[in-house]
Amino acid sequence: MASAGAGEGEASAAGPSQVVMVRRDLLAKCMTCPLCLKLLRDATTIIECLHTFCRKCIYEKLNDEETNHCPTCNIYLGPLPLDKLR
């Protein structure tokens, strides 16, 4: 009897699926890498400021240009900027 109650709770907790409509331009803005201007590929975020880039783009930016600042807001990422990526 207890298992029947648990099953009912699971079914009602799941509920019917819902569809949410989002404007394409707003979604594209959130899903676009500010470095390559394409859709994010293997999205990687700087934990200090939460700006997100393609993994390849941000690694190349930080390594090749030997910079230690966010390319979007210019926040200082310290001497080991790659450690600030997730």
Q: What is the CATH number of the domain that holds 73?
A: 3.30.40.10
pLDDT value at residue 13: 60
| Vertex 28 angle, CA 23 and 32, to 5° | 165
- pTM of the full predicted structure? 0.71
**What pLDDT, in 10s, does the model give residues 38-51?**
999 999 999 999 99
